[in-house]
Structure 1
Amino acid sequence: MTDDTLTTAEVESRIRTLEDERYAAVIARDIDRFIELAHPDLVYTHSNAEIDTLDSYVGKLRSGHYLYHRIDHPVSRIVVSGDTAVVVGEMHADLTAGGVRKQLANRALAVWVREGDGWLLLAYQPTVIPESDR
């Protein structure tokens, strides 16, 4: 069965698995796996509003600019429309960015698109959760 014949529930399950895999890849520094999961036109926005392409983000991963120590990413909703899946959730992480240890608490939106028989991460957008809402 290919992804284009799956039910919405099956697509949602597949997307949850892919989300787990992409976060696990950056924690493990498995950059090749992250690249396999990402669309070539990836738009990766950070919570400080910096924007990376696939190439620039991968460069930062390879150089050690971003070192992820822990990431929790609860998913509250996945919306599937045609060949697009939007993941709504949160991303809580301990990481080192540019040599500075940080803790993040973000709401997050990830966009996956169907490419052939699979799905690729096209865009990611986190937003800082205010202290009063944590």
Structure 2
Amino acid sequence: MTDTLATAEIESTIRSLEDARYAAVVAGDIEGFAAFAHPELLYTHSNAAVDTLDSYLEKLRTGFYVYHRIDHPVHKIVVVGDTVLVSGEMRADITAGGVRKQLANSALAVWVRDGGRWLLLGYGPTVIPGAI
């Protein structure tokens, strides 16, 4: 398999995983999301709060975060060995801490291949100024 073909296959896999992880949180499938996450996940929010996998899952379980809709266009995927960077957007309708809000973020997701599986290791959004 050529490097170009391997990279294209990885990009396709990661796009599918991105779709699935977002779909899981919108569906309230917390264990489904957890299956895509690395145990050392660092999940940064657009308000600069940072969650570990355990603290993020707890916030999902308790309804602190409720995702009503998420659009997540991908702009670029960079594959370097067993690490993938996904640059795109996360536009969402959510309830966070009891407050309904609209999000418009530029986002960077980090995926790593661990034990033959691709897992989400990091996520960091940045508010897009004037987008909402």
**Normalising by the residue count of structure 1, what TM-score does the alignment of the two structures yield?**
0.93
The aligned amino acid for 2:44 is T
Per the alignment, residue 118 of structure 2 pairs with 119
Percent identical among aligned pairs is 70
Q: Distance in 1 between matches of 2:31 and 2:45?
A: 21
1:11-50 residue CA offsets vs partner (Å, 9 max, x unmatched): 0000000000000000001011111100000000000000
Q: Structure 1 residue 118: deviation in Å? A: 1.4
Per the alignment, residue 23 of structure 1 pairs with 22
Per the alignment, residue 72 of structure 1 pairs with 71
Q: Structure 1 residue 115: deviation in Å? A: 1.0
Q: Distance in 1 between matches of 2:83 and 2:101?
A: 32
Q: Distance in 2 between matches of 1:92 and 1:36?
A: 23
Per the alignment, residue 38 of structure 1 pairs with 37
Give the 3-state SS of the residue equivalent to 2:43 in structure 1: strand
1:67-122 residue CA offsets vs partner (Å, 9 max, x unmatched): 00000000000000000000000000000000000000000000000012210000
The aligned amino acid for 1:100 is V
Note the residue ranges of structure 1 that are not aligned, 5 or more in a row. Answer: 1-5
Per the alignment, residue 13 of structure 1 pairs with 12
**Normalising by the residue count of structure 2, what TM-score does the alignment of the two structures yield?**
0.95
Runs ≥4 residues deviating over 4 A: none
Q: Distance in 2 between matches of 1:42 and 1:116?
A: 16
1:130 aligns with 2:124: no
Aligned CA RMSD, in angstroms, stands at 1.0
Q: Structure 1 residue 53: deviation in Å? A: 0.1
Q: Distance in 1 between matches of 2:45 and 2:125?
A: 6
Q: Distance in 1 between matches of 2:45 and 2:30?
A: 18
Per the alignment, residue 48 of structure 1 pairs with 47
Per the alignment, residue 93 of structure 2 pairs with 94
